[in-house]
Structure 1
Amino acid sequence: MTWDIDRDMQDLPGKVAIVTGGNTGIGKETVRQLARRGAVVYMASRTEARARAAIAELNSAHPEIATKGGRIEFLELDLTSLAGCQAAARAFLEKETRLDILVNNAGIMATPFELTADGFDIQFQSNYLGHFAFTYPLLPTLVKTSEDPSTSVRIVQVSSSGHAFASSDVSFDKVASVNRDFGSTWTRYGQSKLSNILFAKALDKRLASHRIFSSATHPGVVRTELNRGYMQTYPWLSRVQGVLEGILKALVLTSPYKGALTPLYAAVASEIEENGWRGEYFVPYAKRTQPSKLAMDEKLADELWTFSENVVREKCGSLDSRE
Structure 2
Amino acid sequence: MFGKKHFVFDDIPDLSGKVAIVTGGNTGIGFVTARELARKNAHVFVASRSKERGESAVELIKKEINKDAVEFLQLDLNSLNSIKHSAETFLARKLSLHILVNNAGIMATSFETTQDGIQDQFGVKLFTILLLPTIKASAPSRIVNVSSNGHTFVPSGGIEFDKLNDPNAHTSFQRYGQSKLANILFTHELNKRLSGTNVYCNCLHPGAINTELTRGMVDNWGFWIKPFLSVVGFFLLTPDDGALTNLYCATSPEIEEKNYRARYFIPFGKLEVPSDYGKDEELAKKLWDFSENLVKEKLGDDIFSKCYA
- State the partner residue of 2:64: 61
Report how far residue 314 of structure 1 moved: 1.2
2:218 maps to 1:217:
no
Match of 1:81 among 69, 79, 82: 79
Say if 1:80 and 1:116, in contact at 8 Å, map to a contact too. Answer: yes
- State the partner residue of 1:121: 119
Aligned partners of 2:179 and 2:225: how far apart in 1? 28
Stretch moving more, 25-34 or 311-320: 311-320
2:155 maps to 1:170:
no
Report how far residue 321 of structure 1 moved: 8.7
Identity %: 44
Aligned partners of 1:25 and 1:321: how far apart in 2? 35
Mapping for residues 56-205 of structure 1, pairs under 5 Å = 56-63=59-66, 65-66=67-68, 71-124=69-122, 128-129=123-124, 132-146=125-139, 152-171=140-159, 176-180=162-166, 181-205=168-192
The letter for the 2-side match of 1:225 is E
Aligned partners of 1:163 and 1:103: how far apart in 2? 18
Aligned partners of 2:57 and 2:250: how far apart in 1? 21
Aligned partners of 1:311 and 1:80: how far apart in 2? 14
The letter for the 1-side match of 2:249 is A
Give TM-score, length-normalised by structure 2.
0.94
Report how far residue 290 of structure 1 moved: 0.5
CA deviations on 1:266-301 (whole Å, 9 max, x unpaired) are 111111111111100001111111001001001111
Match of 1:314 among 256, 278, 297: 297
The letter for the 1-side match of 2:193 is R
The letter for the 2-side match of 1:234 is W
Report how far residue 257 of structure 1 moved: 0.5
Aligned partners of 1:292 and 1:179: how far apart in 2? 24
Aligned partners of 2:34 and 2:303: how far apart in 1? 28
Report how far residue 97 of structure 1 moved: 2.8
Match of 1:227 among 181, 205, 214: 214
Indicate the SS of the match to 2:303. Answer: coil
Say if 2:158 and 2:181, in contact at 8 Å, map to a contact too. Answer: no
Give TM-score, length-normalised by structure 1.
0.90
- State the partner residue of 1:13: 16
Aligned partners of 2:294 and 2:230: how far apart in 1? 42
Aligned partners of 1:83 and 1:33: how far apart in 2? 30
Q: How many residues align?
A: 302
Say if 2:163 and 2:169, in contact at 8 Å, map to a contact too. Answer: no
CA deviations on 1:146-179 (whole Å, 9 max, x unpaired) are 1xxxxx311000010000001122346x5x3332
Aligned partners of 1:191 and 1:142: how far apart in 2? 27
Say if 2:6 and 2:270, in contact at 8 Å, map to a contact too. Answer: no
Aligned partners of 1:183 and 1:154: how far apart in 2? 33
2:250 maps to 1:267:
yes
CA separation of 1:211 and 1:322: change in aligned 2, threshold 3 A? closer
CA separation of 1:182 and 1:275: change in aligned 2, threshold 3 A? same
- State the partner residue of 1:149: none
The letter for the 1-side match of 2:169 is F
Say if 1:163 and 1:192, in contact at 8 Å, map to a contact too. Answer: yes
Aligned partners of 1:277 and 1:165: how far apart in 2? 26
Say if 2:14 and 2:40, in contact at 8 Å, map to a contact too. Answer: yes
Say if 1:218 and 1:284, in contact at 8 Å, map to a contact too. Answer: yes
Aligned partners of 1:108 and 1:53: how far apart in 2? 21
Unaligned runs of 5+ in 1: 147-151
Structure with the bigger percentage of helix: 1
Unaligned runs of 5+ in 2: none
Say if 1:170 and 1:177, in contact at 8 Å, map to a contact too. Answer: no
Stretch moving more, 109-118 or 12-21: 109-118
The letter for the 1-side match of 2:47 is A
- State the partner residue of 2:54: 51
Match of 2:233 among 234, 246, 249: 249
Report how far residue 309 of structure 1 moved: 1.0
- State the partner residue of 2:241: 258
Aligned partners of 1:107 and 1:294: how far apart in 2? 21
Say if 1:215 and 1:280, in contact at 8 Å, map to a contact too. Answer: yes
Report how far residue 182 of structure 1 moved: 2.9
Aligned partners of 2:225 and 2:6: how far apart in 1? 37
